[in-house]
Chains A and B, each alone.
Chain A
C-alpha cells in the first residue's frame, strides 16, 4: 500500500472539493430513489484518493454523514457492502460518534454494533492505530 500523500496543493484541494460535490449530487439522487445502500457505497468509494486538508475531510464527512443517516436496514446494508469498505466505514462511524449530536450518535452506535460483529475487533484496532489515513 502506498504511503498517503501528505501535502495537497491549493488547486488540488479545489479539484477534490469539486469531486465531492459531484458525489454529493449522485448520492442525493440515489437517496431519492430509495437506494440508501448504494448511496453509502458511493460515499465511501475512493476515499483514499480524498487526501488533503481539513476542508476536504469535512466536505467528505458531510457527504458520508448524509448517507449514513439515511440507512434504515443496517443488516442488509452490511451484508451487501464489500469487506474492503469495513475499515473506512468504521473510521467514519467514530467520527460520527465524536460529534456528540444525538441522532448521529444513535445511528452510528447502531451500525457500530453490527459492524463489529461482522468485521471483528481488528477493524476497531485498525481505526485506532492508523494515524496516517485519518478521516
Chain B
C-alpha cells in the first residue's frame, strides 16, 4: 500500500506545511490559528499554537532554508513567523488587500513570497533590510476573478497563477535589488508573460515541473491541463478524467504528476515517451474498479430515486458503498506537499483534507509507478 501513515490531527484541515527536517508539521484546523505538531516517539504533540489572525487561515508555507513560516488568511493579512529561542514571533506583512488572501508560497530562494487573493491580485512580498519589514508589491492587472493558487518557477522570478476566471497566467516578478538581473530574460515586474485560456471553469492547483519546462493545473470540470515548453508557443494538453474534480497537483518527477481532490484518492498521471500525458491509475487500489461500485451509499440512494422512475420500481443494486474501495481520506483532499526528494524526484508526499487527516504516502511500494518514474 502506498499509504505509510494516517494521522487524525483535527476535525478539518485547510492547509498544512512541514518543517525542513519533517519532524514538525504546521496546520490550520479550519480556524484562525496555526497548530504546530511535533512527532515525539510515535505520538503527535502540539508544541505551538500561533494566534494572530482573525479569520480562517487559507495558506501556510514553511521555508526549508530560512525556517520561516508564512501564513495568509481571509482577514486580508499575512504574517511571517520567525522562531526566536522557542517562540514563534509574528511580523505583519501589509498586503494592501481588500479581499481575503487565498494562497501563499515561498519562492525557491525564500527571499520573496507570493500571495493570491480574492481581490483579483497577486501580492509579491520581499524583505527590505533597511526598514526591517516586508514590502508588498501588487500585480493588479489582468485577473478577472479570485486567484486560487500561485506557484513559483525554479528561476525565482516567474510566478504562475490560476484563477476562478478559468485562466492560468504567468507573470514576471523581477524586483530591482532583490533579483539578479539576467540579460537573457529582461522583464519588468508584473509583466504578463503567457496567458493560458484552456478551461471554461474555475482553475486550481498550478505547479511547475522540477525543471520549469512544464506546467500543470486543474479545472473544476474534471480536466487536468498540461502545458509543455511554456513560453511564446506552448504545447497544451487536456486530460479528461472520469471522476470528481481535483484540487491540487504535485510533480513527483518531470514526467509524473499526482493529483488530489474531491474523490479522496490521489490520481497518478504520467507522460509517455512522446510527451503525451494520460491517467495511469489511482493510488488507493491497483485493479480498475468495476463500473457498478463507483458510488458511495449517498449516491446510490440519489441515483436510485433518479432512475427509479424510468425503471418503474426495479431496484438498482449495481452500486456498492465506497467503504469497500479502501479509501483513506473520507472527504475532499485539499493539498499535497512533498516530503522527501531524491534528486529531482519525489518519492514521499503528504496530503491533508477536509476530514482532518494528514496522510503520508510513499511510492517505494508501487513498483509499476517506480518504473515510470525512472524514465
Contacts and interface: CB of A to CB of B under 8 A. Distances in A.
Interface of A: 1, 3, 87, 106, 109-110, 113, 116-123, 125-126, 128-133
A130 B202 CA distance: 10
Interface residues of B, number: 26
Contacts of A119: 242
B241 A125 contact: no
A121 B244 contact: yes
Contacts of A131: 200
B310 A122 contact: no
B243 interface: yes
Nearest to B312: A106
Nearest to A109: B310
B241 A129 contact: no
Contacts, number: 65
A129 B220 contact: yes
The main secondary structure of chain A at its interface with chain B is: helix
A129 B203 CA distance: 11
Nearest to A131: B200
Given A121-B244, A132-B200, A126 B294 contact: no
Contact of B240 (A116, A118, A122, A133): A122
Nearest to B308: A109
Given A109-B307, A129-B200, A130-B200, A122 B292 contact: no
A125 B309 contact: no
Given A109-B307, A126-B240, A117 B219 contact: no
Nearest to A3: B197
B291 interface: yes
Given A125-B222, A128-B221, A133-B200, 5 more contacts: A109-B310, A121-B294, A122-B244, A129-B221, A131-B200
B243 A121 contact: yes
A109 B309 contact: yes
Interface in B297-346: 303, 306-307, 309-310, 318
B17 interface: no
26 contacts: A3-B197, A106-B310, A109-B309, A113-B303, A113-B306, A113-B310, A116-B303, A117-B291, A117-B294, A120-B241, A120-B243, A121-B243, A121-B294, A122-B221, A122-B223, A122-B241, A122-B242, A123-B222, A125-B245, A126-B221, A128-B221, A129-B201, A129-B220, A130-B201, A132-B200, A133-B200
Contacts of B291: 117-118
B197 A125 contact: no
A129 B245 CA distance: 11
Contacts of B292: 117
B3 interface: no
Contact of B219 (A113, A116, A128, A129): A129
A1 B238 contact: yes
Contacts of A130: 200-201, 221
B310 A126 contact: no
Contact of B222 (A117, A122, A133): A122
Interface in B183-214: 197-198, 200-202
Contact of A113 (B197, B198, B243, B307): B307
A49 B19 CA distance: 52
